[in-house]
Amino acid sequence: MDPILQTEGLTIAFGAYTAVDDVTLAVPRNHFKSIIGPNGAGKTTFFNLLSGQLKVTQGTVKFKGQDVSALPPFARTRLGMGRSFQITNVFPKLTVLENVRLAVQSQAGVRFHMLLHYRSRRFRVFEEGALHLLDMVLLGSRRDTLAMHLAHGEKRKLEIAMLLALQPDLLLLDEPTAGISLEEVPAILEVIRRIKSEGDRTIMLIEHKMEMILDLSDSITVLFNGKLLADGTPEDIMNNEMVQTAYLGGLYDDAVASQGHADVY
Amino acid sequence: MVLIGLPFVTDSRSFLMMLTQIFIFAVFAMSYDILLGYTGIVSFGHCMFFGVGAYSVGVMMNEKGAAIGSLLLAILIGMVLSALLSYIVGMLSLRLKSHFYAMLTLAFSGLLLVLAEKWRSVTHGNDGFTFQVPELIKDRTVLYFIALVIMVLVYLGLRRFIHTPVGRVLQAVRENEQRTESLGFEIVHYKVLASIVAGITASLSGSLYVLTLRFVNTTVFSMDMTLNALLMTIIGGVGTLIGAIIGASIIEFAHHWLTELAKFHPIFERWIIFFGLLYILVVLLFPAGIVGTLRSKWHKYRKARPQDTDPSGVSTESESQGKKVNVS
Ligand SMILES: Nc1ncnc2c1ncn2[C@@H]1O[C@H](COP(=O)(O)OP(=O)(O)O)[C@@H](O)[C@H]1O
Ligand SMILES: [Mg+2]
């Protein structure tokens, strides 16, 4: 089967600085790929190129066989790309429910309706769909809270619910556990695992927590200074000399160690 | 109710006039609130739509005579012109960073002001001109009711508008443009739409305004008009239509009283000073505007769940938790 996502020579330069440098990559359908690399490696920038937040300097992004390099973010969303942000990105002064309801409304293609009330019988389904998703990410009881008052981990779960509302075929998750208290991490992991187990989505994950990556991934891509350093199965990557010297180093031992007691989760 | 009965108990014409003007400026302020309060767009030239509506009526009445038919046509023409104008200004600038819209509206309203000053054969320049209005509208009480009904209709219409799926997206744009876009909404369409709705509504208020004066001159295009809308909206509370109405009332009352007081001391003619003071006072006492702040205080008092349109967001998480505790 054709890969759902393909990049060719993907490059972006900010002035003289090349943040993503000639990355060529293919991701098969329903695959779980993690992206690792030290801070500043260009992982977030890479996602920004995929989702259209940034325009490529050179190279192409192909999604479902179509060159989307020139499309704005909303167009890529409509094609089935959904992304979460490393910095939590919700509507702070809207309720939790409204945050998700807007996403459901968009997915239903209701964009320019301006006669009926948003809670009229015809549109009530959006609210119901949103409530269902909130239950799935364990936020059902917080529906009427303003998003700005959620705890950090809850915001993350809210973002994931908004993302799922768009029913994306490709899910781009940028450090979903970043800045979250340790107790909240298992809940996030659980949500990601649930999404994966549905088996009908391609997921790309940026993470630093190696045990989480090894647990979830079908393959791993390593970025370093904007360049693609390695790409392969988790075993390949863990045994790759170059990766170890360049990046993993001490982390490798950590990961092996934590694999030993992975049942902590 | 009180407002309906009022014309029958008061015989102060100037009081009736003032209320009529309040209704009209409330429409103007609500139109501005659609931009500033609901979509988060700042305009420095909102007077241009007010002025277009004003001159449409003035010129039409002057040239074609004072018939109800041509009056309605004039109001319609004003609205269509404003829609076109807001569409053009919006398409030119709303794709760009937000200050471009602010600057471009400022430039366009300045342009229209110059046009109104120079096109003397039609506008009589700075001096303006008086015109006849249809017989029916000469009656102050009739005009009062027309303005009241229009204000109520505009209020209901805009309230419905902000509660439609499109209206909800406008508020999402206000909260977080980038996120709205990544949900799949093309935000420039929504901003232009808000700009058109605001433009048409402002045009209507401008048309009504000159009907009460039976006179139009270039002040309808002046910066003061835009400032009025801005002050009324902020003082009443951005993002609340009722706030716009209350803001309009306060500013108009203040204007009225200051004019009265000016008989005693000329300092009171410098009303801009007092508006400045009023503004500072309100911002200190009611940081989210009068309606916005009272509303969140009310929610706190009731320990009710926060409203999702609450622009102040003062209600806190602990309250909703507090409520749950109380209930259980
Ligand atoms: N919009 C931008 N303008 C200039 N430099 C940027 C921009 N975005 C990212 N960078 C730079 O690109 C590099 C990669 O950043 P980023 O993709 O955020 O790294 P990572 O997510 O892997 O930690 C960093 O050095 C960062 O400063
Ligand atoms: Mg990053």
What's the CATH number where A33 sits?
3.40.50.300
Are A30 and A59 within one domain? yes
Judged by a CB distance cut-off of 8 A, whether residue A55 touches chain B is no
Q: What is the pLDDT of residue B64?
A: 87
Residue A88 included in any domain: no
Residue A9 included in any domain: yes
ipTM attached to this prediction: 0.77
Average pLDDT, chain B: 85
Are A178 and A140 within one domain? no
Higher pLDDT, residue B65 or A31: A31
Are A231 and A201 within one domain? yes
Q: What is the pTM of this model?
A: 0.77
Cβ pair A113:B166 closer than 8 A:
yes
Please tell me the residue having the least CA distance from ligand 1 atom 1.
Answer: A14
Q: How far is the alpha carbon of A124 from chain B, nearest alpha carbon, in Å?
A: 11
Cβ pair A74:B184 closer than 8 A:
yes
Please tell me the residue having the least CA distance from ligand 1 atom 6.
Answer: A14
Judged by a CB distance cut-off of 8 A, whether residue A112 touches chain B is yes
Number of domains in chain A: 2
Are A66 and A31 within one domain? yes
Question: What per-residue string of b and e applies to B195-229 under the rule 16 or more CB within 10 Å gives b?
Answer: bbbbbbbbbbbbbbbbbbbbebbbbbbbeebbbbb
Atom of ligand 1 nearest to the CA of A175: 21
A132 is written with which tokens? Answer: 């269902």
Residue A87 included in any domain: no
Closest by alpha carbon to A208, among A250, A169, A156?
Answer: A250
Are A179 and A264 within one domain? yes
Is the pLDDT at A104 greater than 80? The verdict is yes
Tell me which residue range forms the domain holding B52: 2-327
Average pLDDT, stretch A193-211?
90
C-alpha to C-alpha distance for B258 and B24, rounded to whole angstroms: 20
Are A236 and A133 within one domain? no
pLDDT per residue as tens digits for the range B107-152: 999 999 999 999 988 888 888 899 988 888 888 889 999 999 999 9
Residue A246 included in any domain: yes
What's the CATH number where B176 sits?
1.10.3470
Are A175 and A258 within one domain? yes
Number of domains in chain B: 1
Are A176 and A246 within one domain? yes
Are A198 and A130 within one domain? no
Residue A36 included in any domain: yes
Judged by a CB distance cut-off of 8 A, whether residue B160 touches chain A is yes
Q: What is the pLDDT of residue B30?
A: 96
Are A73 and A109 within one domain? no
Q: How far is the alpha carbon of B237 from chain A, nearest alpha carbon, in Å?
A: 15
Final residue before a domain boundary, out of A167, A192, A225: A167
| Chain B environment of A98 (Cβ under 8 Å) | 168, 308
Final residue before a domain boundary, out of A116, A140, A167: A167
C-alpha to C-alpha distance for A159 and A96, rounded to whole angstroms: 10
In one-letter notation, the amino acid at residue A222 is V
Tell me which residue range forms the domain holding A116: 93-167
Q: What is the pLDDT of residue B224?
A: 87
Per-position pLDDT tens, chain B of length 328 = 677 777 677 667 788 889 999 999 999 999 999 999 999 999 999 999 999 999 999 999 998 888 889 999 999 999 999 999 999 999 998 888 778 999 999 999 999 999 999 998 888 888 889 998 888 888 888 999 999 999 999 999 999 999 999 999 999 999 999 889 888 899 999 999 999 999 999 999 999 999 999 999 999 999 889 988 998 998 888 888 999 999 999 988 888 888 777 777 777 667 677 777 777 887 777 777 888 888 878 877 765 544 444 444 333 333 333 333 333 3
From residue B94, alpha-carbon distances to B29, B186, B193 in Å are: 21, 12, 11
Q: How far is the alpha carbon of A79 from chain B, nearest alpha carbon, in Å?
A: 10
Average pLDDT, stretch A44-61?
95
